[in-house]
Amino acid sequence: MRRSDLGEFEEVVLLAVAALSPGAYSVIIAEELEHETGNSVSTGAVHAALQRLEQKGYLTSHLGEATAERGGRRKRLFTVTALGGRILQDVRAVRNRLWDRILPNIRLEWS
C-alpha cells in the first residue's frame, strides 16, 4: 500500500473532493470539512493540501466558468483521479481491518 505519503488532513480533503465532485473547490471543501468535523478549517490549508494532492497525482483540476458571485473570476474545480480513488480504497481497507480487530473488545474493555 502507498499510503505513507498521505497525511490525515490530506485524506479528509481527498474524501471531501470525492463527496463534492464535480463541484469541489477550495471554499466549499473547507465549509464541508468544518461541517463534518466541527473544527475551523482555513481555505489556505485546503489550498495547500489540494496542491500537494494534485502533485501526487491523486487529484486533477480545471478552471470552471466565471461566475458573477466571484466578480467574474473562475473557480478551480478538483476531481479524484483513478490513483486517488485507489489510495482512498486502500486507506479504508486498512482502517476497516483494524476496526474489525478491536470491535469485539470495545464493549468489554471500554465499558
The answer on pLDDT for 9 being more than 60 is yes
The pLDDT assigned to 13 comes to: 98
The pLDDT assigned to 72 comes to: 75
Task: Tell me the whole-structure pTM to 2 decimals.
Answer: 0.85
C-beta of residue 27 within 8 angstroms of C-beta of residue 66? no
Q: What is the mean pLDDT of residues 11-27?
A: 96
Angle between helices 8-20 and 82-109 (to 10 degrees): 110
CATH number given to 3-109: 1.10.10.10
- pLDDT one-digit tens code per residue, 22-80: 999 999 999 999 999 999 999 999 999 999 999 999 999 999 887 777 677 889 999 99
Cell of 99: 476496526
Cell of 97: 481491518
Model confidence band, residue 108 (pLDDT cutoffs 50, 70, 90): low
The answer on pLDDT for 85 being more than 70 is yes
The answer on pLDDT for 103 being more than 80 is no
What are the structural domain ranges in the chain?
3-109
Side-chain half-sphere CA neighbours of 27 within 13 A: 4
Model confidence band, residue 1 (pLDDT cutoffs 50, 70, 90): very low
The answer on pLDDT for 111 being more than 70 is no
